[in-house]
Amino acid sequence: MNILNLASASDEPLYNIGIVSRMTGIPVATLRVWERRYGFPKAIRTPGGHRLCSEREVMRLRWVKARVDDGMQTGQAIRALQHMEQEGRFSDITPAPVTRAPMLDTSLMAFQQRLVELLSNNELQQADQMLGEVMTLYPTEDLILDVIGPTLHAIGQAWKDGKISVATEHLATNYLRQHLLLWMMTGPSAYDRVPPVVLACAPDEWHEGSLLIMSVLLRRRRWPIAYLGQAVPLPDLAELVRKMRSPAVLLVAMMERSAEHLRDWPQYLPEALESGRPIVVFGGEIFNLQPELRSITPGIFIGETLREGVEKFDALLTTMFTPNE
């Protein structure tokens, strides 16, 4: 039996009530009743009124559910949990068993391969449970870089190879995209008095996965971001950058034709080329496949990997600001 230390769990609100229900096996209606009657779990409300629970709350819910399944009354189980927490007996709390396929290998690669398998079979509930398990073992940044990112790529490749249908590819991609958007919206408080960094796909570029991941990782490092997404016209991009007084712009191209568009950005942001402000950085798979494109594209190449890219961009922003805590 695995002993779980709740003191190491994250308090960051990440999961909406539907995801919490799938991760714990507790119906949504029951969660709402518990919240009204017992003030449990402790959910954070978004500006739109949606409940978000942290990793810690998911673990607490699993423990209470296990006691209820053993025959304990709900109120009694919640009071028992609170009593144990008051005494600091976190190491005594054991999570409820999660229904999932046996998994002896808990490396990030094994989790990533398992996630591809689950999403390829449209098994979203099991995917939720597995992601919850990963978050108890690894930092969220590692989960995003080493599990979510490679899974997005693998799902796209599986569709190209005819191994999954268009419908399954869309379902899996949007499942991962929703998680990334949630992590973006619920990141730590952004630095004060720092204008947003603008992130956009090049014109004619519809593959936004790597851009979205960069946005989430920068936001988790407390940089305010303005995420524009797919296929942004350069004149519109330049107008927005000026209005927002953005300190930096990240442009992503995955294909050669979209990379060709990036050579034209100085026409619309000549001040950036002349003064170096805002900083314009670029990246994407095509610049790895054809490295010669880096030297003919204006701006700063962000790096060959997402991990390298976020470190480099973070360092560039840090040289520009001494952020206020």
Is the pLDDT score of 8 beyond 60? no
pLDDT digits (tens, 9 = 90+) for 41-54: 888 877 767 778 88
Architecture of domain 197-320: 3-Layer(aba) Sandwich (3.40)
Percent of the chain with pLDDT over 90: 45
Among 35-49, 272-286, 289-303, the minimum mean pLDDT is found in 35-49
Task: Write out the CATH class of domain 108-185.
Answer: mainly alpha
Instruction: Give the CATH fold of the 6-92 domain.
Output: Multidrug-efflux Transporter Regulator; Chain: A; Domain 2 (1.10.1660)
Assess contact for 246 and 227: CB atoms under 8 A.
Answer: no
Measure the CA–CA gap between 27 and 29, rounded to whole angstroms. Answer: 5
pLDDT digits (tens, 9 = 90+) for 120-131: 999 998 898 888
Where do you find CATH 3.40.50.280 in the chain? Answer: 197-320
Measure the CA–CA gap between 175 and 116, rounded to whole angstroms. Answer: 12
pLDDT of the residue at 103: 38
Where do you find CATH 1.10.1240.10 in the chain? Answer: 108-185
pLDDT of the residue at 2: 36
Assess contact for 205 and 254: CB atoms under 8 A.
Answer: yes
pLDDT band at residue 287 under the 50/70/90 scheme? very high
pLDDT of the residue at 322: 62
Q: Mean of the per-residue pLDDT values for the chain?
A: 84
pLDDT band at residue 5 under the 50/70/90 scheme? very low
Assess contact for 321 and 189: CB atoms under 8 A.
Answer: no
Where do you find CATH 1.10.1660.10 in the chain? Answer: 6-92
Is the pLDDT score of 57 beyond 80? yes
pLDDT of the residue at 89: 59
pLDDT digits (tens, 9 = 90+) for 259-271: 999 999 999 999 9
Assess contact for 206 and 232: CB atoms under 8 A.
Answer: no
Measure the CA–CA gap between 87 and 8, rounded to whole angstroms. Answer: 16
DSSP state letters, 112-144: HHHHHHHHHTT-HHHHHHHHHHHHHHS-HHHHI
Q: Tell me what the mean pLDDT of segment 301-305 comes to.
A: 91
Assess contact for 112 and 150: CB atoms under 8 A.
Answer: yes
Place of tokens 């712009």: 249
Among 94-108, 126-140, 160-174, 228-242, the minimum mean pLDDT is found in 94-108
Assess contact for 288 and 304: CB atoms under 8 A.
Answer: yes
| Dihedral over Cα of 167, 173, 178, 181: its sign | negative
pLDDT digits (tens, 9 = 90+) for 134-179: 876 777 888 899 999 999 999 999 998 999 999 999 999 999 998 8
Identify whether 41 is preceded by a cis peptide bond (ω within 30 of 0). yes
Q: Is 193 left (phi over 0), alpha (psi -120 to 50) or beta?
A: left
pLDDT band at residue 4 under the 50/70/90 scheme? very low
pLDDT of the residue at 280: 95
Buried b (16+ CB within 10 A) or exposed e, 6-28: beebeebbbbbbebbbbbbbbee
Assess contact for 65 and 26: CB atoms under 8 A.
Answer: yes
Place of tokens 């979205």: 212
Which residue blocks in the chain are alpha helix, DSSP H? Answer: 17-24, 28-38, 55-69, 74-86, 108-120, 124-137, 140-143, 149-160, 166-185, 209-220, 234-244, 256-262, 265-268, 270-275, 285-289, 292-295, 306-320
- Give the Å distances, CA to CA, from 325 to 61, 188, 215: 33, 11, 20
Assess contact for 253 and 261: CB atoms under 8 A.
Answer: yes
The values of phi and psi at residue 158, to 5°, are -65, -35
Among 50-54, 85-89, 228-232, 267-271, the minimum mean pLDDT is found in 85-89
Six token digits for residue 211: 């851009």
Closest C-alpha to 281, from 267, 270, 305, 297: 297
Assess contact for 180 and 212: CB atoms under 8 A.
Answer: yes
